[in-house]
A = this chain, B = another copy of it.
């Protein structure tokens, strides 16, 4: 089985939602990503923690078959994030960020990770993302996340990183900001002109929209090709989110999406269009589970049967029949 190299943050989160609160629970983008992806594939984690990182959290990650050779223990405290959600649960309000060990983090890729075929560059400084890539031999697929902070403060560096990325996975606000364009199709066209051949837009409760450079049936040609798409037609895929009656804590939903998405592709070792569409659904499935409980709690108890069932529900939920020619079906 191929493995995924994942770089990003490991954190202790304190989260308050209208349904309760959790203090100093395991979190961080790389944590959610790795635990979710581990359902489908082996994961090689590259991240840093402080001296206070709890033994039980190490054991949990190990129990999920996440390789921790690349988890660096640094002097100081683990990264902390404190946030709050109001009733609509769509946006996190950050109350406090303590970078701690993260502020001096320079990802070092262990030798045994260097031939990872699948690489996920979590939401870190785009310069560090490129440093990671430079230490990987010949990845089959590179996917990448980013956020408003880097779009505003490191735009040129981010554009450089995008040249080497096959799939960019961001939310709709980030896509609009990155392209400086309100219309999503125009934004996608612009972003795909910078390197990625697929742009996956996460839209929270509204689901996901995927734009693909026209004519490409597979990403299987290395990941550094820049394809100009201005004027060409994009291939688009869209799916709704799984409608949930109880959303307890949206923290980690986006990272869980990426984990399900990349995990599935690495798990089946395919990067063709059909597999990528299925991966989008697995991403949505895993994100929908993630938010059902605080922190990683729902993922701790999740089974393959539940994952398969929800995938099938997505099929049912989006299925509609083709039509004959209209003039033949309309009564006269």
Contact = CB atoms under 8 A, between A and B. Distances in A.
Contacts of A315: 320, 322
Contacts of A95: none
Interface in A296-332: 304, 307-308, 311-312, 315, 317-323, 325-327, 329-332
Given A185-B245, A203-B206, A278-B323, A237 B87 contact: no
Contact of A320 (B182, B268, B277): B277
Contacts of A307: 326
A185 B243 contact: yes
Interface in A183-200: 183-186, 189
Contacts of A244: 183, 185
A68 interface: no
A318 B239 contact: yes
Interface in A167-217: 182-186, 189, 203, 205-207, 209
Nearest to A324: B308
Interface string A255-270: 0000000000001110
Given A184-B243, A185-B244, A2 B323 contact: no
Number of contact residues on A: which range applies?
A: 35 or more
A194 to B, nearest CB: 18
Interface string A210-242: 000000000000000000000000001111110
A288 to B, nearest CB: 12
A123 interface: no
A321 B239 CA distance: 13
Contacts of A238: 207, 239-241, 243, 317-318
A99 interface: no
A239 B183 contact: no
A238 B288 CA distance: 15
A331 B267 contact: yes
A280 interface: yes
Interface in A266-299: 267-269, 274, 277-278, 280-281
A78 interface: no
A41 interface: yes
Given A182-B87, A311-B323, A267 B330 contact: yes
6 contacts: A183-B245, A209-B243, A238-B243, A238-B317, A239-B320, A304-B327
Give 4 nearest A-B pairs by CB, closest first.
A238-B240, A206-B206, A277-B320, A267-B330
Interface of A: 1-2, 40-41, 87-89, 182-186, 189, 203, 205-207, 209, 236-241, 243-247, 267-269, 274, 277-278, 280-281, 304, 307-308, 311-312, 315, 317-323, 325-327, 329-332
